[in-house]
């Protein structure tokens, strides 16, 4: 008896669609500042502090 092929990759597609909706929701959020902008600002601040510490000579 031959088993039929199971659909593969559907879960990945569903996760991608849900992730897309979440990202679009965060970008279009009416919060001030938006969560995406707050994340970008935090990463910039962390990178600035990190590069300063690395460049500091002992």
Tens digit of each residue's pLDDT (9 = 90 or more) over 5-48 = 766 778 899 999 999 998 888 777 777 877 778 889 999 999 99
Measured between alpha carbons, how far is residue 53 from residues 21, 23, 39, 49, 50 in Å? 38, 32, 21, 6, 5
- The domain spans of the chain are 31-58
The pLDDT of residue 51 is 94
Quick count: other Cβ atoms within 10 Å of Cβ 37? Answer: 14
Judge whether 25 and 35 are in contact, CB under 8 Å. no
Angstrom distance (rounded) from CA 31 to CA 24: 13
The pLDDT of residue 1 is 58
């Amino acid at each position: 008896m031959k088993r039929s092929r199971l659909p593969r990759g559907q879960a990945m597609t569903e996760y991608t669609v849900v992730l897309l909706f979440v990202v679009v929701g965060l970008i279009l959020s009416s919060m001030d500042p938006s969560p995406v902008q707050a994340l970008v600002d935090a990463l910039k601040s962390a990178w600035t502090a990190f590069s300063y510490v690395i460049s500091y000579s002992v």
